[in-house]
């Protein structure tokens, strides 16, 4: 056979061309595969291509190649088979230094890239007879990467130092007092600090992609949890953008009162004092807020480059405004720069130490008739957004030089810096002004700033607008990252192709932001943001807790300052804060996340990310397996673990891995779907030659199991023949007490009709192997007529309980009754008694036994003595006569062959001993049993009968005749043999 070999060679210009030639391959080479060497750069010499050819073909020699600039055309020399002393199947010997390792010789760059998760397209294998032209793109110039300072610390600082500090923090100090304000800052700061520890651990456990915390949580806790928390975090960012916009607009209207279109005056009553207070109108906030949101969206549509150029400009006003605020605090004197300012005073410190919770209006102005009563819990919800923003660095992981170093250091530094700033500010604000000034002057930071209050106004506006811009930039990209994972088809509209801008997601984010701006109340928006952020922080902590507790081999974070107890405390702290803020908001947010989780689990596509839950299931299974040990399972804890033998006999239509009704029967052996089935099929042949066929068959069988909604796994075994394959399976399948305990297979009804003469020996060998291996056996006859879940059956389930089987037959009949198709049936137990036994006493004993087993069944005792007087069924007599004739003919041939060869009687390759009287007795007993079944159970839904063991030293052909006579004319029969263990018990 001739085949074309395409040789490829790379050049720096990025184009590859191959010219094929025909060579004769010797048949003595590697069978079944053709390996074509790919001549590349020195670092990629080990990249080999493989394509399928005829087993008779092998590798051929190839000649030296001329390297040219730009494009390389290869014209291999056609050489004879013996003219290749310096070449091997791996290429020239001078280039292959590690021939001992064959085709898995060297680690190449392509393999290393695939480990990082990058989508590197491997060179396709050329088809025989065709030329190859592959265009390799030039390496794209890498984007400018940020370091720890500008990439993590500054973004986190900008997001944390937001509107709450400038226009609400002094008011919080006045409401809660210095003592509880310190507790508030420590309480909320410890939550974000522990979350930062967990975030650092997960972020240093491998490379990160887009999506920020969604990517981390989803890869740790699974796609369902990741999408549910990710969407909530997206909503939190979108609502946060509205909060920052409202803060900027409110600051602007306070700084420039003339800009207000509709201002309103509120009368404050404090004892006998009446003071009018002018504040921005709600409609002013709405109008300006919508305009500002639209302008920010135009900037966002300009792309990341414009945003990155504008963002650093927001940092300088923030730092300068902080310097002005603290300068003003240090230089303040009594009555300067405004009434109510005392300067740093111990008297103010003492007066403001305790809390002063009271009712306020919607604007936060103290009012005895106000609608809002403030408490410590409510202040937690108001202040917590001031410590959020720790995810800003992880959101920019794609633009960092070293994520595993920058994220922990930058995020932790920003968290500690801002927490220290808040603690110091509590002491300064509580000591510099009276309580009344703290509660009424919403912009105390601007009033006290030195030298110019306007600088603080500019700093507040620019910092809040910058934070709003970051929120409107990050939220659409988070939504696009969720959509690009292709978990929820409903999010396909937000997908981004080839790293483009998420315009549709930006429109959707702007819509949400404008809707929140219309609400216009900053104090109502901030608790909503708090809940969504806390859900995300709890998810990060739980992710770290689960991964650290499982301690899988892949869990090797570089950040060592973490422990599962810290993550657990962080997660619990997040949940506690949620309930402290508001039970209503907590229930609503958890319900929303649960609803998304449920929707993703039903409608979402499967995404196997190697999440922690799957690792937890695996470790739980290992621990459970070890705890079970190898001791005998108690009958109360016994579960059927069937080994389904898929295709032992006959042929099925093409592309059908096993009998269509086999999975339906396997489901009938489970109670409410619990338990596991193992579907086994054996492929005859050599393992090395048929391993690919086995993989394809296993995939096909797994698809069949999933389609039938049967809890089970598929296994394909390659063996020289069916008998050896089954013998290996029955010895090795399973671990500990999780080994299959029931062998389920079809009865070979077609063996005589199809003249499959090898079936009797194989069938008997399998049954003997099961007996030796102490496995129960269930043989199904009439599988074609087995009902599915929608076909209701009526009548009886008849059990011919002949030998003690540990209650397996009784248990299987009870499992059938739990299925919808058999729930309308009743059980009848037929006991075959000896001639001299007490039939009535046996019946009473069986009834008592069934009563203790909680089984409702009618008991019928049939004495062997009554067999003599009953007339056999005509079809049974005909089958009996036919079996007698075939056995006599087979026995005659055995005797004739033995006399001719001067050997003992031989059958199935081994000597046998035939007692003709015993054979007749077996046939007669089987005839009587078949006649009894046809007499009493002709209309039964299912018939159970005990499986007789194969007689020792009898030909397998004889045993098949006994079995054929037993199952003759019975449409649906289960032949059951126990395994000398009780599977039911009388006791609780």
What is the full DSSP assignment across 300-344? Answer: HHT-HHHHHHHGGGGHHHHHHHHHHHHHHHHH-BTTBSSTTB--S
Domain hosting residue 469, numbered range: 176-268+276-315+380-416+461-603
Please name which of 375, 395, 379 lies closest in space to residue 387, comparing C-alpha atoms.
379
Q: Kindly state the average pLDDT of the residues 756-767.
A: 88
pLDDT at 273: 53
Bridge partners of 38, per DSSP, are 8
DSSP string computed for 389-445: -TTHHHHTGGGBS-HHHHHHHHHHHHHHHHHHHHHHHHHHHHHHB-HHHHHH-TTHH
Q: State the DSSP code for 784.
A: G
Count of domains for the chain: 1
Taking only the tens place, the pLDDT of each residue in 198-239 is 998 888 887 777 777 888 888 888 888 889 999 998 988 888
Bridge partners of 862, per DSSP, are 832
Instruction: Flag whether 156 is in a domain.
Output: no
Q: Kindly state the average pLDDT of the residues 402-409.
A: 85
17 — pLDDT class (breaks 50, 70, 90): very low
Bridge partners of 973, per DSSP, are 781, 943
592 pLDDT more than 80: yes
Which of the pair, 874 or 834, is modelled with greater confidence? 874
pTM over the 0.75 mark: no
Q: How far lies 192's CA from each of 186, 490, 670, 771, 930, in Å?
A: 10, 33, 48, 63, 77
Instruction: Flag whether 933 is in a domain.
Output: no
196 — pLDDT class (breaks 50, 70, 90): very high
181 — pLDDT class (breaks 50, 70, 90): very high
Instruction: Flag whether 222 is in a domain.
Output: yes
Measured distance CA(910)–CA(749) in Å, rounded: 25
Q: How far lies 606's CA from each of 72, 609, 610, 850, in Å?
A: 45, 9, 12, 46
DSSP strands (E only) in 433-548: none
Instruction: Flag whether 880 is in a domain.
Output: no
949 pLDDT more than 70: yes
Instruction: Flag whether 95 is in a domain.
Output: no
Which range of 18-32, 598-612, 686-700 scores highest in mean pLDDT? It is 686-700
Q: Picking from 274-283, 594-603, 732-741, 975-984, which range would have the lowest pLDDT averaged per residue? A: 274-283
472 pLDDT more than 80: yes
Q: Picking from 216-220, 631-635, 738-742, 881-885, which range would have the lowest pLDDT averaged per residue? A: 631-635
121 pLDDT more than 60: no
Which range of 35-44, 103-112, 739-748, 827-836 scores highest in mean pLDDT? It is 739-748
Which of the pair, 20 or 436, is modelled with greater confidence? 436
Which range of 137-146, 168-177, 470-479 scores highest in mean pLDDT? It is 168-177
Q: Kindly state the average pLDDT of the residues 261-290.
A: 67
19 — pLDDT class (breaks 50, 70, 90): very low
837 pLDDT more than 80: no
Taking only the tens place, the pLDDT of each residue in 913-937 is 888 888 888 888 888 888 888 888 8
Read off the CATH number of the domain in which 598 is found.
1.20.1740.10
Q: For the chain, give the percent of residues with pLDDT over 90.
A: 16
pLDDT at 666: 84
Q: Kindly state the average pLDDT of the residues 303-326.
A: 78
Report helix, strand or coil for 87. strand
363 — pLDDT class (breaks 50, 70, 90): low
839 — pLDDT class (breaks 50, 70, 90): confident
Q: Picking from 72-81, 159-168, 377-386, 668-677, which range would have the lowest pLDDT averaged per residue? A: 72-81
Q: Picking from 11-25, 486-500, 757-771, which range would have the lowest pLDDT averaged per residue? A: 11-25
pLDDT at 571: 94
Instruction: Flag whether 391 is in a domain.
Output: yes
Considering only CA atoms, give the Rg of the chain.
40
First to last CA, the chain: 72
The mean of the pLDDT values for the chain is 77
Number of H helices and number of E strands within the chain? 31, 25
182 pLDDT more than 90: yes
Which of the pair, 114 or 845, is modelled with greater confidence? 845
pLDDT at 132: 39
Which of the pair, 780 or 628, is modelled with greater confidence? 780
pLDDT at 629: 66
Taking only the tens place, the pLDDT of each residue in 25-56 is 333 333 333 333 333 344 333 333 333 334 33
Q: How many other CB atoms are found less than 10 A from the CB of residue 508?
A: 18
**Phi, psi angles (nearest 5°) of residue 387:** -105, 0
605 — pLDDT class (breaks 50, 70, 90): confident
pLDDT at 876: 82
Taking only the tens place, the pLDDT of each residue in 441-466 is 878 888 888 887 778 888 878 888 88
Q: Does the N-terminal peptide bond of residue 531 adopt cis geometry, omega within 30 degrees of 0?
A: no
pLDDT at 54: 41
621 — pLDDT class (breaks 50, 70, 90): confident
Q: Picking from 268-272, 509-513, 896-900, which range would have the lowest pLDDT averaged per residue? A: 268-272
852 pLDDT more than 50: yes
Q: Which residues contact 100 (CB under 8 A, 6 or more apart)?
A: none
184 pLDDT more than 70: yes
Q: Picking from 79-88, 788-797, 955-964, which range would have the lowest pLDDT averaged per residue? A: 79-88
Q: For the chain, give the percent of residues with pLDDT over 70.
A: 77
Q: Kindly state the average pLDDT of the residues 263-292.
A: 68
Instruction: Flag whether 183 is in a domain.
Output: yes
CB 828 within 8 A of CB 857: yes
pLDDT at 431: 93
352 pLDDT more than 90: yes
**Phi, psi angles (nearest 5°) of residue 812:** -65, -35
Please name which of 493, 487, 517, 518 lies closest in space to residue 505, comparing C-alpha atoms.
493
Q: How many other CB atoms are found less than 10 A from the CB of residue 350?
A: 12
Which of the pair, 610 or 57, is modelled with greater confidence? 610
Instruction: Flag whether 525 is in a domain.
Output: yes
Q: Kindly state the average pLDDT of the residues 86-96.
A: 43
734 conformational bin, left if phi > 0, alpha if psi -120 to 50, beta if neither:
left
Q: How many Cα neighbours within 13 Å face the side chain of 77?
A: 9
76 pLDDT more than 80: no
Q: Kindly state the average pLDDT of the residues 607-628.
A: 73
pLDDT at 128: 39
DSSP strands (E only) in 74-113: 87-88, 91-92
pLDDT at 281: 73
């Amino acid at each position: 056979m001739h085949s074309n070999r395409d040789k490829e060679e790379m050049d720096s210009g990025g184009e590859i061309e191959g010219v094929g030639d025909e060579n004769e391959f010797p048949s003595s080479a590697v069978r079944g595969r053709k390996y074509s060497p790919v001549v590349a750069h020195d670092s990629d010499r080990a990249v080999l291509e493989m394509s399928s050819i005829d087993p008779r073909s092998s590798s051929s020699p190839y000649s030296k190649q001329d390297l040219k600039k730009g494009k390389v055309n290869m014209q291999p020399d056609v050489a004879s088979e013996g003219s290749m002393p310096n070449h091997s199947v791996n290429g020239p010997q001078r280039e292959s230094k590690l021939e001992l390792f064959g085709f898995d010789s060297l680690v190449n760059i392509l393999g290393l890239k695939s480990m990082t998760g990058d989508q590197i397209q491997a060179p396709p294998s050329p088809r025989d007879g065709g030329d190859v032209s592959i265009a390799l793109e030039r390496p794209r110039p890498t984007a400018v990467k940020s370091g720890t300072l500008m990439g993590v610390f500054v973004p986190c600082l900008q997001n944390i130092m937001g509107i709450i500090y400038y226009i609400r923090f002094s008011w919080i100090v006045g409401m809660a007092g210095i003592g509880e304000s310190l507790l508030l800052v420590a309480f909320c700061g410890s939550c974000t600090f522990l979350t930062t520890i967990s975030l650092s651990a997960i972020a240093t456990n491998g490379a990160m992609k887009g999506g920020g915390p969604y990517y981390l949580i989803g890869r740790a806790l699974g796609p369902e949890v990741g999408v549910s928390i990710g969407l909530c975090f997206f909503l939190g960012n979108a609502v946060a953008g509205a909060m920052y916009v409202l803060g900027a607009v409110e600051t602007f209207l306070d700084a420039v009162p003339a800009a207000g279109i509709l201002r309103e005056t509120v009368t404050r009553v404090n004892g006998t004092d009446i003071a009018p207070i002018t504040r921005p109108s709600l409609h002013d906030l709405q109008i300006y807020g919508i305009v500002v949101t639209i302008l920010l969206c135009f900037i966002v549509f300009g792309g990341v480059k414009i945003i990155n150029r504008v963002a650093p400009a927001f940092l300088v006003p923030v730092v300068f405004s902080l310097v002005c605020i603290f300068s003003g605090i240090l230089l303040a004197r009594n009555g300067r720069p405004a009434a109510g300012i005392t300067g740093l005073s111990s008297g103010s410190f003492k007066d403001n130490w305790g809390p002063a919770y009271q009712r306020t209006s919607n604007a936060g102005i103290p009012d005895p008739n106000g609608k809002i009563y403030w408490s410590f819990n409510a202040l937690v919800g108001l202040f917590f957004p001031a410590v959020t923003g720790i995810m800003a660095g992880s959101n920019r992981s794609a633009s960092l030089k070293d994520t595993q170093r920058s994220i922990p250091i930058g995020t932790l530094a920003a968290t500690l810096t801002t927490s220290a700033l808040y603690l110091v500010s509590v002491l300064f604000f509580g000591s510099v002004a009276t309580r009344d000034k703290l509660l009424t002057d919403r912009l105390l930071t601007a009033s006290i700033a030195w030298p110019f209050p306007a600088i603080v106004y500019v700093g507040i506006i620019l910092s809040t607008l910058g934070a709003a811009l970051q929120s409107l930039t990050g939220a659409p990209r988070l939504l696009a990252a969720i959509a690009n994972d292709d978990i929820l088809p409903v999010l396909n509209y937000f997908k981004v192709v080839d790293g483009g801008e998420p315009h549709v997601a930006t429109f959707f984010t702007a819509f949400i932001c404008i809707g929140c701006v219309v609400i216009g109340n900053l104090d109502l928006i901030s608790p909503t943001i708090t809940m969504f952020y806390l859900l995300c922080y709890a998810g990060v902590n739980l992710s770290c807790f689960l991964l650290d507790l499982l301690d899988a081999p892949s869990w090797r974070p570089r950040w060592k300052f973490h422990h599962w107890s810290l993550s657990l405390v962080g997660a619990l702290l997040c949940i506690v804060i949620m309930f402290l803020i508001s039970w209503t908001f907590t229930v609503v947010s958890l319900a929303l996340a649960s609803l998304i989780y449920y929707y993703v689990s039903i409608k979402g596509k499967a995404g196997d990310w190697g999440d922690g839950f799957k690792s937890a299931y695996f470790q739980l299974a290992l621990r459970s397996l070890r705890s079970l040990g190898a001791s005998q399972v108690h009958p109360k804890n016994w579960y059927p673990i069937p080994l389904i033998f898929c295709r032992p006999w006959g042929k099925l239509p093409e592309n059908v891995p096993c009998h269509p009704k086999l999975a339906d029967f396997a489901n009938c052996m489970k109670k409410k779907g619990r338990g596991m089935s193992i579907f086994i099929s054996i492929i005859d042949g050599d393992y090395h030659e048929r391993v690919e066929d086995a993989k394809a068959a296993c995939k096909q069988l797994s698809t069949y199991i999933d389609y039938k909604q049967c809890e089970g796994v598929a296994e394909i075994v390659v063996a020289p023949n069916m008998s050896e394959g089954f013998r290996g399976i029955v010895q090795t399948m399973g671990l500990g007490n999780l080994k299959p305990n029931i062998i389920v297979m079809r009865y070979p009804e077609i063996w005589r009709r199809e003249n499959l003469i090898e079936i009797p020996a194989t069938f008997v060998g399998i049954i003997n192997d099961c007996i030796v291996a102490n496995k129960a056996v269930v043989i199904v006859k009439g599988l074609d007529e087995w009902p599915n879940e929608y076909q209701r059956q009526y009548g009886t389930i008849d059990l011919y309980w002949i030998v003690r089987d540990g209650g397996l037959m009784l248990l299987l009949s009870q499992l059938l009754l739990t299925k919808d198709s058999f729930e309308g049936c009743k059980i009848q137990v037929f006991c075959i008694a000896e001639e001299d036994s007490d039939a009535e006493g046996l019946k009473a004993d069986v009834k008592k036994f069934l009563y203790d087993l909680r089984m409702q069944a009618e008991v019928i005792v049939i004495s062997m003595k009554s067999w003599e007087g009953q007339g056999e069924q005509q079809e049974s007599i005909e089958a009996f006569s036919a079996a007698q004739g075939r056995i006599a003919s087979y026995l005659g041939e055995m005797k004739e062959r033995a006399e001719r060869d001067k050997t003992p009687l031989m059958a199935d390759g081994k000597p046998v001993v035939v007692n003709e009287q015993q054979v007749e007795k077996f046939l007669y007993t089987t005839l009587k049993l078949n006649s009894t079944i046809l007499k009493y159970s002709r209309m039964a839904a299912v018939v159970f009968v005990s499986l007789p063991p194969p007689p020792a030293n009898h030909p397998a052909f004889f045993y098949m005749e006994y079995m054929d006579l037993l199952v003759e004319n019975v449409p649906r029969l289960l032949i059951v043999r126990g395994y000398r263990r009780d599977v039911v018990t009388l006791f609780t």
